[in-house]
Amino acid sequence: MKTQVKKIRDLNIDIGIIKEAGHIIKGGDLVAFPTETVYGLGADGLNEEAVKKIYLAKGRPSDNPLILHIDSISMLERLVKEVTEEAKLLIEAFWPGPLTIVLKKNSLVPSIISAGLDSVAIRMPNNPIALALIKETNTPIAAPSANTSGRPSPTRPDHVLEDMVDKIPLIIDGGETGVGLESTVIDLSENTPLILRPGGVTIEEIKKILPNVRLDPGLVENDKLNLIPKSPGQKYRHYAPKAQMVLYVGKREDRLDAIVKRAEKESAKGKKVGILGFEENKDSFKDFPHLILGLESDKAKIAHVLFDSLRRLDDLGLDLILCEGLDSDNIGMAIMNRLEKASGGNIVYV
Ligand code: TXA
Ligand code: MG
């Protein structure tokens, strides 16, 4: 299959591309499209055969459920048993936007979407191209991030092409995505609201609306207690560069000291070692190859470039990557979650 890439810069002018993409999705095939978080790999969420193609193209384990993308509250009401009071408050505050809400599903949602669970994850993306595509198809669009399973999520059309070339008929190029990390996933299907994946909407913001919100214990204590996260996607190694990566967490001086010592030790053994770190600290990295994520003080920018940086690390041909951690307040929590996954839990606390 030949993959076409079509650019949309002005929806009024390029509306033909939305019509073509809608036609492909209604016909049971896949289209990659931009959202405000990362690119999604979209299929008609009510067509089982089409959704199977998503799992195939990504090489995704079949026990990892998908998010349905919607453009209206009436579409939401058709998919769930009940839009709870808590859900209404969050929708009012954050939709359209990077928040995915898990609710009890109703029978219209095929079990391939929920991977057999009795709940379904839903969000309304804040991107005009995504919203126009959902409107055109008039169906909830199932869309995981448009990467090969395990690789960093795509924030640019060329990332999608890298992973999906000749596997899907169409990629809509809408430029770089804004947030750069995936949506926050919150489970409202049980008694206590539970964050299953930190993302674009921060826990601090959610707490203002739902003060009783909790973090999934499987998320925080994963390695220490060996708990299994409730969001199946959180249990896999993910976002991983090809080289082994180690994440260093702790005070600035101690962290830099530990990184440079390790780099010197490993390179003396003949390993090619690189550093992933922050602008403020680049003078400490000596002559080791490094990639700068941006200013530690500008977390939104770091979130925006993180996945592209993880992909570009592969081009440096390294054996070992030593990476700086940062404070996990606000969007820092989502950044640290992705870095923990990218390092496969290989974390040094200094
Ligand atoms: O920002 C995003 O959310 C992007 C864009 C394309 O919208 N999508 C995305 O989808 O990140 P994906 O499939 O890469 O991640 C979906 C996450 C997974 O961790 C999955 O396990 C979880 O949501 N999930 C989906 N349905 C669920 C459910 N019913 N219960 C618990 N977790 C669920
Ligand atoms: Mg993903």
> Residue 263: its pLDDT value, please?
98
pLDDT at 252: 96
Choose the residue to mutate in 127, 145, 149 for probing ligand 1, maximizing ligand atoms within 8 Å of C-beta. 145
Backbone φ and ψ of 259, nearest 5° = -65, -50
The whole-model pTM stands at 0.96
Question: φ and ψ at 287, to 5 degrees?
Answer: -95, 10
Which residue from 100, 126, 127, 147 has its CB within 8 A of the most atoms of ligand 1, so it is best to mutate? 100
CA 57/CA 63 separation, integer angstroms: 15
- How many residues are listed for the chain in this entry? 350
The protein residue with its alpha carbon nearest to ligand 1, atom 12, reads 144
For helices 15-26 and 128-137, the axis angle rounded to 10 degrees is 50
Beta strands in 205-243 (DSSP E): 214-215
The preferred substitution site among 126, 231, 338 for testing ligand 1, maximizing ligand atoms within 8 Å of CB, is: 231
Ligand 1 surroundings by CB, under 6 angstroms: 35, 37-38, 40, 64-67, 98, 100, 102, 114, 117, 119-121, 125, 143-145, 182-183, 185, 196-197, 230-234
**Ligand 2 midpoint to CA 345 (Å):** 17
- Nearest atom, ligand 1, residue 123 CA: 7
Q: What is the pLDDT along the chain (350 residues), one digit of tens a residue?
A: 999 999 999 999 999 999 999 999 999 999 999 999 999 999 999 999 999 999 999 999 999 999 999 999 999 999 999 999 999 999 999 999 999 999 999 999 999 999 999 999 999 999 999 999 999 999 999 999 999 999 999 999 999 999 999 999 999 999 999 999 999 999 999 999 999 999 999 999 999 999 999 999 877 755 544 556 677 666 666 777 889 999 999 999 999 999 999 999 999 999 999 999 999 999 999 999 999 999 999 999 999 999 999 999 989 999 999 999 999 999 999 999 999 999 998 999 99
Residue 203 DSSP symbol:
H
pLDDT of residue 221: 54
Strands 99-104 and 273-277: unpaired
Distance 14 CA to ligand 1 centre (A): 29
- Supply the pLDDT for residue 224: 47
Report the separation in Å between the CA atom of 299 and the middle of ligand 1, taken as the mean of its atom positions. 23
Question: What pLDDT digit, counting tens, does each position of 142-157 carry?
Answer: 999 999 999 999 999 9
pLDDT of residue 235: 64
Of all protein residues, the one whose alpha carbon is nearest to atom 22 of ligand 1 is 231
Sheet of strand 290-292: strand arrangement: 290-292, 273-277, 320-324, 244-249, 347-349
Residue minimizing CA distance to atom 31 of ligand 1: 231
Which numbered atom of ligand 1 lies nearest the CA of 120?
29
12-27 core/surface letters (b: 16 or more CB in 10 A; e: else): eebeebbebbbebbee
Q: Which residues pair with 246 in a beta bridge?
A: 322
Q: Whose CA is nearest to atom 29 of ligand 1?
A: 120
